[in-house]
Amino acid sequence: MNKLVRFFLFIAVVSAVLLYAISSLNSSQGYSGGNTLTVFNWGDYIDPDLIKKFEKETGIKVIYETFDSNEAMMTKIEQGGTNYDIAVPSEYMIDKMRQEDLLIPLDHSKLPNLKHIDKRFMDLQFDPENKYSIPYFWGTVGIVYNPKMLHGKEITSWNDLWDPDLKNEILLTDGAREVIGMGLNSLGYSLNDTNKQHLVEAKEKLDTLTPNIKAIVGDEIKMLLANQEASVGLVWSGDASEIMSENEDLDYVVPKEGSNLWFDNMVIPKTAKNIEAAHKFINFMLDPKVAAKNTDYVGYSTPNKGALKYMPKEVVEDERFYPSPELTEKLEVYENLGKKNLAYYNELFLQFKMHRK
């Protein structure tokens, strides 16, 4: 009997030691609260110097991890293996995450710098009253093109892409919403359209674009356009800015029919263990000088009005990346269309890609 008691005592001690070791390891890796903050963001989407500045000012250690798609980000948060304190999803994913109870409501009283955000980008449909999210960067979907390679031709419309002179000249980003949305916009339909007749019509029109398409690609689209491997590309505005910094012959346009207005916002996931530090980080990123420095590094458009005065005049006044309110009114934010409709978009996009072969 004594041997049995000693055996169970031994098991209890070993278990306690293991639990302490795991807890210590998780804490050191930012997987629990305390003095660490675990941030989950897109790759190369923050100035590393700002992380060091935040750590120095607050004494909070930042653990920074990255994802390459909204879906991958949400899956990892749903699994709950890592206690992320901050994440930066796009607007349609924020809508989905709040509906699935994966976000913690924000305490606006702890975000005094929120006053610097442009009111145009607040209280939008995907997050009424910004209960769960705060704008980080925003931009558009449009067309990068090389006027020199096109012998002076100007592109102003989605329908310009169907010009026979553009045979084998167009690169498309590998995204169902972007490509199907382009087809819908070219026909005058909403890029959130769920009418199957309209969607089939858009896909059939895209099929006729096939002779002009050189490739459907991922991140390499930036290098290919900068190196003049193609003269036209469907891209996000932030990528356009980066491409144009590499090749000054390139231009960017948001087509006159309209396009996508996208947002990446900061949220606090349900997995968070350091909610207080998360609010401090969000408020820090909303400081106008911090936002201006971050914008200079990332290259996307900032929603922070206060930051604009710390940025070069030629950047702030460039309507390709800071379009007028008149143009932004014609742009649409992606809506969460639900699994069934998104699956149909993906099915049509796959059919379109197969048609090219």
Q: Mean pLDDT of all residues in the chain? A: 91
Same domain, 222 and 257: yes
Task: Tell me, yes or no, if the pTM score tops 0.85.
Answer: no
Same domain, 185 and 333: yes
Same domain, 232 and 348: yes
Same domain, 156 and 227: yes
Same domain, 213 and 345: yes
For residue 128, tell me if it sits in a domain: yes
Whole-number Å distance between alpha carbons of 331 and 262: 9
pLDDT of residue 355: 85
What value, to the nearest 5°, has the Cα angle with vertex 93 and ends 92 and 96? 95
Neighbours of 216 (CB within 10 A): 18
Same domain, 343 and 281: no
Span between the terminal Cα atoms of the chain, in Å: 75
Same domain, 212 and 279: no
Same domain, 330 and 185: yes
pLDDT of residue 219: 85
For residue 2, tell me if it sits in a domain: no
136 in a labelled binding site = no
Beta strands in the chain (DSSP E): 36-42, 61-67, 86-87, 133-145, 170-173, 213-217, 232-236, 251-253, 261-267
Half-sphere exposure of 128 (CA within 13 A, CB side): 1
The token duo for 142 is: 């449009």
Range of the domain at 101: 20-138+263-316
Same domain, 301 and 224: no
Burial of 5 (0-12, 13-18, 19+ CB in 10 A): exposed
Domain count, the chain: 2
For 121-168, write each residue's pLDDT tens digit.
999 999 999 999 999 999 999 999 999 999 999 999 999 999 999 999
Same domain, 337 and 220: yes
pLDDT of residue 329: 83
Q: In the chain, which residues have pLDDT < 50?
A: 20-32
Whole-number Å distance between alpha carbons of 177 and 296: 28
For residue 4, tell me if it sits in a domain: no
| CATH number, residue 190 | 3.40.190.10
For helices 288-298 and 48-58, what crossing angle results, to 10°? 150
pLDDT of residue 250: 97
For residue 9, tell me if it sits in a domain: no
The answer to whether 205 touches 268, Cβ cutoff 8 Å, is no
Same domain, 190 and 290: no
For residue 293, tell me if it sits in a domain: yes
Neighbours of 89 (CB within 10 A): 29
Same domain, 246 and 348: yes
